[in-house]
Amino acid sequence: MFAKRIIGLLPSPTMMLDQRAKELRRQGIEIINLSAGEPDYDTPTSIKEAAIHAIEAGFTHYTQPEGIFELREAIAHKFKKDNNISYDPSQIIVGAGSKQILYSAFQVLCDKNDEVLVPTPVYSSYIEQIKLAEGKPVCIKLKSPFKLTAADVERAITPKTKILLLNTPASPTGAIIEKAELQKIAKLVIKHDLWVISDEIYEKIIYTGKHISIAAINKLVKEKTLTVNGVSKAFAMTGWRIGYAGGPKNVIRAMTTLQSQMTSNANSIAQMAALGSLKSGKGTREAMNNSYIKRRTFLLDALADIPQLSFVAPEGAFYFFVSLEKVLGRKYKTAPEWCEALLKEEKVAVVPGEAFLYPNYFRLSFTKPTVTLVEAVKRIKRFVEKNS
Ligand code: PMP
């Protein structure tokens, strides 16, 4: 039979739901799919051109396992300019999406039964990846407005705690961890000699407040932090599969060794496209962000007009995490039942909170044009009114 580690492995719930919505569409059933965690925009032309140029120039061979030097140099420059973190290119690794980078990070840092602190609601891949590394996820259940505090972290630390996972801005809540709180968290990290894996993939999609990287707080915490990022969300490049991380040299070296045995290297052409995105993608990124701002503004009003639902305004990312607490218990008892019925009756796909280890909520992704969101909210409102 299969290995134990695979028997217990759960598939990515958001990807499954997205697939299901796409399958229904193939059957001719028109679905408004607000489940996917990816921009609806096409990759900007200048980035595609960088890839076409790479193909035509014959840049089609294996690269260094950690990624081509020019890209790592551009990433080091980005970390300095945007995040005020100084990394040498030898402290950077490029992988097949930040998901693979996160997987490698857990494999490298997490030993059997090591505890990893995971604030929830959370992007569920972390949990499965920690289990694959034989670690023990320890969830820190946050309450609305879902902002992690140092006190939350301190309460969860035990002698077995090895890693603290941070995701700011977060999926699915959009919450940002403020600088003052990060400073306090950094102190705990040093005091308890923890590692930090800081997933900052949504850093460029911000509406209120400011993104701060924990590695920028001070040198000591930088030495214990792996700063994870990628081009998927910021540059509408989810399919290209390029993510990266900066961190202490020995961690990057170990991840590189693992990568050399696992994938050899990230796709050479996509690495060139990612280099193009860091050099010339800013304009289109800002245009995309402007439309997210408008969609968010629309949803703040439109969802507030459904009094049975409640939510906090997302500070970043492109999701609303909506509470069903006032709605459940009558016709539908759980968020998965409610979401399933919404899909069946109103043809709108959203993700139940269970996918983020947080029942009684759903995540709505606003990576669709406002006209589509107008129709989606109309249907959600009708569904809520009918069933409460
Ligand atoms: N981290 C978070 C919080 C995410 O939401 C996602 C994508 N859904 C990823 C990492 C992975 O992104 P990618 O592998 O495309 O870089």
Tens-place pLDDT, residues 193-220: 999 999 999 999 999 999 999 999 999 9
Which residues, 6 or more positions from 19, have their beta carbon under 8 angstroms from its beta carbon?
A: none
Q: Grade residue 89 by pLDDT with cuts at 50, 70 and 90.
A: very high
| 122 phi, psi to nearest 5 deg | -150, 155
Average pLDDT over residues 249-270: 98
Q: Does the pLDDT value for residue 285 go beyond 90?
A: no
Average pLDDT over residues 336-352: 94
Q: Does the pLDDT value for residue 259 go beyond 90?
A: yes
Q: What is the pLDDT of residues 164-200, one digit of tens each?
A: 999 999 999 999 999 999 999 999 999 999 999 999 9
- Residue 16: the pLDDT is 76
CATH topology of domain 4-42+283-386: Aspartate Aminotransferase, domain 1 (3.90.1150)
Q: What is the bridge-based pairing of β-strands 310-311 and 319-323?
A: antiparallel
Q: Whose CA is nearest to atom 7 of ligand 1?
A: 37
Pocket test for ligand 1, best of 127, 201, 203, 205 (most atoms within 8 A of CB): 201
Compute, in angstroms, the gap from residue 200 CA to the centroid of ligand 1: 9
Ligand 1 atom nearest to 171, measured from its CA: 3
Establish whether domains 4-42+283-386 and 45-280 are of one fold: no
- The structure tokens listed for 349 are 């796909």
Pocket test for ligand 1, best of 15, 99, 241, 351 (most atoms within 8 A of CB): 99
Q: Grade residue 74 by pLDDT with cuts at 50, 70 and 90.
A: very high
Compute, in angstroms, the gap from residue 12 CA to the centroid of ligand 1: 11
The proportion of the chain whose per-residue pLDDT surpasses 90, expressed as a percent, equals 89
Q: Does the pLDDT value for residue 17 go beyond 80?
A: no
Q: Does the pLDDT value for residue 20 go beyond 90?
A: no
- Residue 244: the pLDDT is 98
Q: What is the pLDDT of residues 353-376, one digit of tens each?
A: 999 999 999 999 999 999 999 999
- Residue 388: the pLDDT is 80
Q: Does the pLDDT value for residue 282 go beyond 90?
A: no
* Helices 370-386 and 335-346, axial angle in degrees (round to 10): 110
Mean pLDDT of the chain: 95
Assigned CATH for 45-280: 3.40.640.10
- Residue 10: the pLDDT is 83
- Would you kindly state where each structural domain of the chain is located, as residue ranges? 4-42+283-386, 45-280
